Structure 1
Amino acid sequence: MSINALDTVVLASDLPQHGLKRGDIGAVVEVYSPHAIEVEFVTASGHTQALVTLNTSQVRPIGPKDILAVRQLDAA
C-alpha cells in the first residue's frame, strides 16, 4: 500500500495510550519511509488528540463503503 503525505487513513487497531480506537481517522503529515508515517488525529472541533509515528500496517486507506461517525473520548 502506497501512502502519501496528506492522505486520510483509518486506524486498524486501538492505541489506548493515545486515546485512539480502531476506526479513528487521521491525516498523514509525514512519510518517513515506505513503512513509517506520522499521522495526526484530531477531534471534531479541530484540536489535535494525537500525533503519532505508525507503521503502515497499523492503518488502512479509507474505503468507498466507509461511513464517518462521531464518538466521545474516554475520560482520562
Structure 2
Amino acid sequence: MRQTYGALNVASSAGTGNGRLSRLLADVMAVQAGYVPLDYSSWERNKEAYFAAISQGLNCNYEPMEYWVRQALWT
C-alpha cells in the first residue's frame, strides 16, 4: 500500500487529483484487507512530514510512507 500510494502521488507534478485518487485506492486496499477505510486526519495535521514521506518514495525509501499509512490505519 505504501508504494502504490507514494507512486500515485508523484505520478503527476500538476497536482491533478492524484491525492484524492490515491486516498480512494488506499481505502479500497484497506477494506479488501479486512480493515476499515483509513483515517487521514493525522496526515492533514502533519502535512509537511506527510509530503516529505511521499517525496522519499522517489528514492524508493518507503519507510516514511509506511509510518503514515500505519497512522491512518490505527487512528
Larger RCO (CA within 8 A; separation ≥ 6): 2
The normalised TM-score by structure 1 is 0.26
The normalised TM-score by structure 2 is 0.27
Greater fraction strand: 1
Greater fraction helix: 2
